Structures are given as structure tokens and as C-alpha cells.
Amino acid sequence: MSRESRLALIKQIEGKRKSKVIAYITSDRTNLAAQIAGDTVSIIHDHLLSLKADKNDRLDLFIYSRGGQSDVPWTIVSMFREYCHKGDFNVLIPYRAHSAATVVALGADEIIMTKKAELGPIDATIMNGPYNPKEGNTNTRLPLSVEDVNGYFALIERINRETPLEKMNGIKELISQVHPLALGAVNRLLEETKLVGRRLLDTRAKPFTEEENKDIIKKLSSELYSHNHAINKTEALKYLGLKQVINAESVGLEEDLWNLYLEYREFFQLENPFLPEEHLIINNLEEYTWENLPSACIESNSRFDVCRKSLKVKKLRSIPPNINISLGNITLPPINISNLPAGLDPTQLNNLVQAIFQVTVQQCLNAAAQAVLNNLLKSLPQVGFEHITFNSGWKLE
């Protein structure tokens, strides 16, 4: 799977669409996932500049993502709009375009979806905020979803705790488990996402009515109940009312979009979980380094940008205190060589042999000590793994 094969498919799609295509992929490979993030905006802009896009061009964004930062979709879509004011902006979805990727799609004039394409709810979740509840006695922060909070209050209503006092008691019970600032943050994030969604729907060349926009956002943000719910093209059309959804098969793009997705699936190894700890255990290794692992990319005819990182994983051992193996400065006993031939200085020869033995034996002892230490460490109880990430960031390839 090469850039040449991906470019051939991109050009084929551009020919059928009479458009310019930019592909934006964020990996959802296990332990190597990435999200839609603000650091990609300038890179997408570089692609728009290098494509020499003007206001009459049709621009297509081929996207695969599980979501990301809630404030980025508006920045991405409004930037595309600046380059296709008289043309149109469209989103091509081969498979997953969840959460923030769904919000991006709301601003498209056309949403081209394959039979497997999925949109997703846009309800807000704060993954690891400073006020999120902790997991037991650990310092790990649990994700906090607005749907979980709403579900709690819906339960209060259902069991007839409807008086102001009963509702206040219900709020107090919730606050005893979840910091009030965390509840405020998740509510603010939801309102921001809903506002951005409505504004993006208004940017379309042929926008829906205000009531239709409100209904679409309401269904996406609070009526699907599960953040993992997959919305196919039929549901997007009939339930959500996204009338800009187009069947990829009807415009001859089903195969092209899916084949391009398969290229990226192979590039990121999306279906092969990245399990570094398992690799160390299976291969009886104490540590291992993976270099240039890809987690996201932006690609067009003009350039290819990839977000990569290197990762070193090391087993952690429970080392008892005061372990110290030192074999330095070992003094060997004098070496006496008798019956030397005439003319040889016994003292000089003895010093030479002593020096050779000192260096050679010391090296052997040091190597043996290191081997003993390594074997000792391997025999100690394992208490976890250390992960060190380095050389992380976007690179033009």
C-alpha cells in the first residue's frame, strides 16, 4: 500500500466529482488512537494553498475519525468555506465519522455516505478533566458524559421525585460523587457543541430552516442515548432529517471511497491492536522501542503529512533496597615467574603480565556481574510498565 496507489484513487474520485480532495484520517487503532485536534488546521490550510483552490472550486473532505476536540469542526469548515464561496464544500464518509467528525459533516453541502458509513451522536464527554471523578483510590480520572448526567436526572423524574426539595436532594447526592465544576464543564461543552452544530448547518449553500436545524441538533445531542450509537445513511436521512446525505453508490463512488479507506486501514494497521506490553511478555524482553508509529494523516494530490511518534516500553521491577554489586579496583596477587632467560627483567615482565591480567580479568568480571544483575532483575516481581514517548509530531513526507 503506497502513496501512489492512494493518489490514483484520490485522482479517480476527483475526476468523478470534478473536485479537489483532501483526506483527513485519525487512527482508532487500539493504543494508537488520535483525535481531531487544533494542530491540524494549519496543515489542512497548507493543503488548500498547495492545491491552489479558489472560490469556484468544489472541495471534498474525505474523513475517517472517531471524534476529537469540540471547537475544531467550526475552524475546519469555515476555512474550507473561505476557499469555495462560489463552489461547494462536501464530506466523503467511507466508514466512521463520529462525534466531532459528525459535526464537521453538518456543515457540508453534500454528505456522501457508503453503505457502511456511520455518523455518531454529538453528546459531550470530558475524558480526563481535572475535576472528573477518580477511579477508586487511584489518581485515574474517569470520563464524564452529559448523557450519564441527564440519565441520572431522568431517573429521578421517573421515580416521582418531582418536588423542588426532592430534586435538590437528588442534586446533592450527585454532587457528593461528582465535583460541581465537572458538571458545569460537561454542560458547557454540550451547549458549545450544539451551538457549533447549528451554526455549521447555517453555513450550507442551501440551509435548512431554523426549526429543522434545531431538531437535527436535538436528536444528535440528546435523543440517541448512547455515544457509541452508529447512524447509517438511512437513519441520517429519515430520522435526523439530514437531507444533504447522498448514497455513494448512486453517484458511482461506493467502491472508490471504500478502496481508499482500505488503503488507510492498511497504512495505520487499524484492525491490528497495538499491544506493546504483550510483545514484551511473549518475546521475554525487558524493553523495546517502536519508532515512527503513525496516528493521523492529511493527504492530497500535492502533499502528504503524517503525525508519528516513537515509543519505548520497559518492564518495571520491584527492586529491594541496598542491592549493590561492585567489582571495581580488584587487585590481583603478585605473579612470580622464575627461571627467566638471560636479559629479561623479571620486574618489568611481572608488571606487564599483571597489567594484562588486571584489564582482561576485570572486563570478564564486569561482564559476569552485569549478566548476574540482569538475570537477578528478571527474576524480581514485575510491578508494571514504563512508557516513554518521543519524537512525536506532524511531519511532511
- 3-120+230-309: CATH topology is 2-enoyl-CoA Hydratase; Chain A, domain 1 (3.90.226)
Domain segments of the chain: what residues? 3-120+230-309, 319-380
Express each pLDDT in 231-259 by its tens digit: 999 999 999 999 999 999 999 999 999 99
Strands (E), 30-85: 58-64
- pLDDT level of residue 301 (50, 70, 90 thresholds): very high
| CA–CA gap between residue 325 and residue 76 (Å, rounded) | 59
Residue 20 has pLDDT above 70, yes or no: yes
Angle between helix axes 210-222 and 180-202 (nearest 10 degrees) is 140
The answer to whether 121 and 193 are in contact (CB under 8 A) is no
Sheet holding 110-113, edge to edge: 245-247, 110-113, 88-93, 58-64, 20-26, 287-299, 304-317, 382-396
* Structure confidence at residue 41 (pLDDT): 97
How far, in Å, are 20, 23, 50 from residue 14 at the CA level? 6, 12, 16
* Structure confidence at residue 365 (pLDDT): 64
* Structure confidence at residue 357 (pLDDT): 62
- pLDDT level of residue 300 (50, 70, 90 thresholds): very high
355 compared with 303, residue with greater pLDDT: 303
- pTM reported for the whole predicted model: 0.79
